[in-house]
Structure 1
Amino acid sequence: MRVQRWLRLCAFCGKVRTEGGGWRTLLGHSSVKYAHLTQAQQWTTTSPKRLCHSDLGDLYKNESVRRYLKQHMEEYTDLSEKLQHACLSDSERKVMISKHAKLLPLANIYQSIEQALKDLEEVLSLIHSAAGSKDEDKQLNQLLKEEEAEISKGILALRKDLIKALVPVDPLDSSNIMMEVVSGRTTGGDICQQFTREMFDMYEGFASYKNWDFEVLNYTHAEFGGLHHAAVRIAGENVYRHLKHEGGTHRVQRIPEVGLSSRMQRIHTGTMTVIVLPQPTELDISIDQKDLRIDTFRSRGAGGQSVNTTDSAVRIVHLPTGITAECQQSRSQLQNRDTAMRMLTARLYQSMMGKETEQRDTARKQQVRTRSQSDRIRTYNFSQDRVTDHRTGYVTRDIKEFMRGGEALGDLISDVLEHAERESLLELVENSISLKRNESETNAD
């Protein structure tokens, strides 16, 4: 369709008269000019925009962000000139090449936007010329306006890509994770345990939807089909990037299916906690066996053949930190010990990360907090068929479909991730401006 429209446009362009009395043709072809866009990016220029709190590309209008972007472009230009003309030592050239390579993707997108703006100006000029001519052709004018709209959408897509290129990269995004789901302790009773099982099933469904591996490490049943606690290892492409913001307290509001409250239609409220710990490919953690206390005990559970007859469950305590991990999933004590060590290693790694940042506690403590409703990140209201994320205000309906862990959960996760990237970039820009201001004040003194 685009090609046919463009061929018609090219055929008519010879009729457009310039202000000087000459004739002009429209240079270039939008489908060629934007050929560097991926198929997904081209679709974003035509498909309906998903409803969310804001668009990451809107940050392009932010004055501070534009100033920050300008600094990067000036640095890129300066590095390009020095690499071409300056006499540099091998070490200096190596450092500059590394910086230049990091800025290159950003510069390419920026230059694409500049070229697209020139194309848009050319089309607008032709529209103005065609409108002022005596032999104005309505079909030509329509084609030009369609071309204007297409280029404008391409510019918006490029601007969003530009902002994404500015967002700081989390080096752990590609990591696999250790996820724990824990039933609330203070509110809801059985409703918390039932909700915890549903949340476990939801994440298992999402892992299947994303084609990730979902390995159960520990699963402690509760009465009436509920779940006290479970730990799983999820492996796949960019697992931590997608699930890192799922950590925190999740609240449920529903009318119980059985009991007096179900007959009186009374809504109960409960909570559960999700804990997400990254597992980088290489964990540089040295654990002295002397610092470990390893206990064995009989598995707790619903019973069954050979379940509670041997001391197969294992609990490992890291004495210097008090961090504990246990596993009773297997009937083999050796397998449970190996799994518990993996869980302990992940928790120790997260603890080390928390100490290095110094500005925040470990992710586990951040996510568990007090497990109270005031710390909730999301509410699942079954009575009103609604899920609400309190960090972004994102609301979605059809809660049964959402709890399947498919596309609906993926849309919410994408919205939360975009919000987090937005906040991360604004914080980075603010810190950069503050640093520049301090440097200027220091130089002035």
Structure 2
Amino acid sequence: MVTWIISNKVIRVLSVLRRPSFVKNFALNVVSIRYLNQTTLNRSLNILNQGSTLENLFDPRLRIFLLDIKKKFDESGFQNIETKFGLSVVNKNHIQSLAGLGEKLLQTENDLQELKALSTDDDENGDLVKMISEECSQLKETLVQIQNEVLELIVQKDNQQTEGIIMEFSAGVGGQESMLFCFEMLQMYTTYCDSEGWDYELTDIEKSDLEGVRHASVCINHPDAYDKLQFESGVHRVQRVPKTEKAGRVHTSTVAVAILPRPSEVSVTIEQKDLKIETKRASGAGGQHVNTTESAVRIVHIPSGVVAECQTQRSQMQNRKVAIDKIRARLFQMKIDQQLATTRSSRKLQVGSSSRSEKIRTYNFPQDRITDHRINFTSHNLGEFLRGTRPFQILIEKLKEESYKERVSEFLEQIKV
């Protein structure tokens, strides 16, 4: 005959937790309940208290912010919800999710505290100690998961209105060598688009005499393009012996890359009365429409002064559409820049903007080296990198990770405990 000895502690665990996993584990193990000596029991219970303070598991500043959101949401829902802890950086569509995570945080903390309180009781049930320890570990993992979800909701950008991007390439210092490298940069990114399966279109290009590129624009039509390529904006520096150099000296040249998120027509409205449209004959090599019809278009957005041109399409209407898309993208970027200036004025990682005030990356051919100066990242195998393969993808992921960490750090610095 088997005698089951169920203490008050067991009953308290079941009534407090009400968690299916715990109840199931208890049902499977209760038949093997046995006594352990008090020394062994205390040693096992002490494991629950090692490094398990809530302050270590969940950032107290983030907890203050989250519970403030929950309180305001419980009081007024979506109506006029405000907080002193930097709500301006949070998409208001995420408020309900944050409030729900605040409720989940309180419940998890409560369950964890009650589990730890059980560890101070005088009981000698080894199996129960093991079950409590396992459940405590699960609750700690839940706290970490809640914190990660909160941070993602706080720092993620509202990109659902971005249909793609416009990448602009401009040769900088270095003359013909800069133009040659500009062409190679253009090839690198279009090759990467091919590997990702993205649709893209060359909307503007001005070539040099030596098969280089003075200026080019590429429209990439994919919603993931901005998320992955936003950090490519800036000045790219190349160090190598140019084809035009006879003495074998290493020259330094630069190419400027700008990333313009391409919004939907809904997100940026342009009034026809605000546009000044000029037409002219397209210039360039070959084609029946070149120099015979006024298919090239130049459009000025009068309120902002933004200018866009296009002559690569065969008809004036097609060129007009491309030019208006460029204006829309630049107006959208101006809006983003204004937000960055107010919410992230102290950012050290100058990525995702069209600022060209500093060199973001160096391509050193003699050393077969790529160095990104923003995150002190260095890699070799330059040939593979310029083909947009694995080394290039690794750098993209590291830039995204560093940007995420910085945005989280800046947000938490706003909150005083």
- TM-score bracket, normalised by the shorter chain, equals 0.5 to 0.7
The whole-number CA distance in structure 2 between the counterparts of 1:395 and 1:62 is: 33
Give 2:397's match in structure 1, choosing from 390, 397, 414.
414
The whole-number CA distance in structure 2 between the counterparts of 1:409 and 1:107 is: 41
Q: Sort the Cα spacing of 1:93 and 1:74 in 2 relative to 1 into closer, same or farther, 3 A.
A: closer
Q: Sort the Cα spacing of 1:288 and 1:268 in 2 relative to 1 into closer, same or farther, 3 A.
A: same
Give 1:168's match in structure 2, choosing from 134, 155, 158.
155
Once the two structures are superposed, residues 85-112 of structure 1 have per-residue CA deviations (whole angstroms, 9 ceiling, x without a partner) of xxxxxxx356599744334357758988
Structure 2 gaps of 5+ residues are 1-27, 45-53, 82-92, 116-124, 127-133
Query: Are residue 331 (structure 1) and residue 314 (structure 2) matched?
Result: yes
Q: Sort the Cα spacing of 1:61 and 1:329 in 2 relative to 1 into closer, same or farther, 3 A.
A: farther
Give 1:204's match in structure 2, choosing from 166, 176, 190.
190
Is contact 2:237-2:253 (8 Å) kept? yes
* Residue 88 of structure 2: aligned partner: none
Query: 1:165, CA displacement in angstroms?
Result: 2.8
* Residue 295 of structure 1: aligned partner: 279
* Residue 62 of structure 2: aligned partner: 69
Counting matched residue pairs gives: 346
Query: 1:196, CA displacement in angstroms?
Result: 1.2
Is contact 1:273-1:367 (8 Å) kept? no
* Residue 243 of structure 2: aligned partner: 257
Is contact 2:306-2:327 (8 Å) kept? yes
Give 1:104's match in structure 2, choosing from 86, 91, 100.
100
* Residue 304 of structure 1: aligned partner: 286
The whole-number CA distance in structure 2 between the counterparts of 1:178 and 1:79 is: 37
The whole-number CA distance in structure 2 between the counterparts of 1:156 and 1:390 is: 35
Once the two structures are superposed, residues 99-158 of structure 1 have per-residue CA deviations (whole angstroms, 9 ceiling, x without a partner) of 443343577589889999999xxxxxxxxx99xxxxxxxxxxxxxxxx9xx99x979984
Is contact 1:293-1:319 (8 Å) kept? no
Once the two structures are superposed, residues 185-232 of structure 1 have per-residue CA deviations (whole angstroms, 9 ceiling, x without a partner) of 3x2112211111111111112222222221221122222221111112
Give 2:168's match in structure 1, choosing from 163, 178, 181.
181
* Residue 385 of structure 2: aligned partner: 402
* Residue 255 of structure 2: aligned partner: 272
Which amino acid is the alignment partner of residue 192 of structure 1?
S
Once the two structures are superposed, residues 217-249 of structure 1 have per-residue CA deviations (whole angstroms, 9 ceiling, x without a partner) of 112222222111111221224322222221111
Q: Sort the Cα spacing of 1:341 and 1:79 in 2 relative to 1 into closer, same or farther, 3 A.
A: closer
Q: Sort the Cα spacing of 1:258 and 1:354 in 2 relative to 1 into closer, same or farther, 3 A.
A: closer
The whole-number CA distance in structure 1 between the counterparts of 2:351 and 2:396 is: 20
Is contact 2:241-2:251 (8 Å) kept? yes
The whole-number CA distance in structure 2 between the counterparts of 1:256 and 1:156 is: 56
Is contact 1:178-1:343 (8 Å) kept? no
Query: 1:67, CA displacement in angstroms?
Result: 1.9
Q: Percent identity?
A: 27
The whole-number CA distance in structure 1 between the counterparts of 2:190 and 2:237 is: 19
Which amino acid is the alignment partner of residue 190 of structure 2?
E
Partner secondary structure for residue 278 of structure 2: strand
The whole-number CA distance in structure 2 between the counterparts of 1:117 and 1:414 is: 38
* Residue 425 of structure 1: aligned partner: 408
Query: 1:379, CA displacement in angstroms?
Result: 1.0
Structure 1 residues 307-386: aligned runs within 5 Å: 308-310=290-292, 311-355=294-338, 359=342, 367-369=354-356, 375-386=358-369
Query: 1:402, CA displacement in angstroms?
Result: 1.0
More helix by share: 1
Give 1:234's match in structure 2, choosing from 208, 220, 224.
220
The whole-number CA distance in structure 2 between the counterparts of 1:113 and 1:399 is: 50
CA RMSD, 1 decimal? 4.5
Query: 1:251, CA displacement in angstroms?
Result: 0.8
Which amino acid is the alignment partner of residue 304 of structure 1?
G
* Residue 51 of structure 1: aligned partner: none
Q: Sort the Cα spacing of 1:384 and 1:156 in 2 relative to 1 into closer, same or farther, 3 A.
A: farther
The whole-number CA distance in structure 2 between the counterparts of 1:196 and 1:369 is: 15
Q: Sort the Cα spacing of 1:79 and 1:293 in 2 relative to 1 into closer, same or farther, 3 A.
A: closer
TM-score by length of 2: 0.67
Is contact 1:181-1:272 (8 Å) kept? no
Q: Sort the Cα spacing of 1:356 and 1:398 in 2 relative to 1 into closer, same or farther, 3 A.
A: closer
Q: Sort the Cα spacing of 1:194 and 1:114 in 2 relative to 1 into closer, same or farther, 3 A.
A: farther
Which amino acid is the alignment partner of residue 241 of structure 2?
I
Which amino acid is the alignment partner of residue 97 of structure 2?
A
Partner secondary structure for residue 180 of structure 2: helix
The whole-number CA distance in structure 2 between the counterparts of 1:224 and 1:16 is: 86
Is contact 1:312-1:328 (8 Å) kept? yes
Q: Sort the Cα spacing of 1:292 and 1:365 in 2 relative to 1 into closer, same or farther, 3 A.
A: farther
Is contact 1:181-1:200 (8 Å) kept? no
Query: 1:61, CA displacement in angstroms?
Result: 9.3
**Larger CA deviation: 204-213 vs 410-419:** 204-213
Partner secondary structure for residue 354 of structure 2: helix
* Residue 140 of structure 1: aligned partner: none
Once the two structures are superposed, residues 313-370 of structure 1 have per-residue CA deviations (whole angstroms, 9 ceiling, x without a partner) of 222222443321111212222211221111122213323444566647xx99962546
Partner secondary structure for residue 260 of structure 1: coil
The whole-number CA distance in structure 2 between the counterparts of 1:268 and 1:315 is: 36
Structure 1 gaps of 5+ residues are 1-9, 27-59, 84-91, 120-128, 131-146, 437-445
**Larger CA deviation: 154-163 vs 273-282:** 154-163
Is contact 2:105-2:143 (8 Å) kept? no
Is contact 2:308-2:323 (8 Å) kept? yes
* Residue 25 of structure 2: aligned partner: none
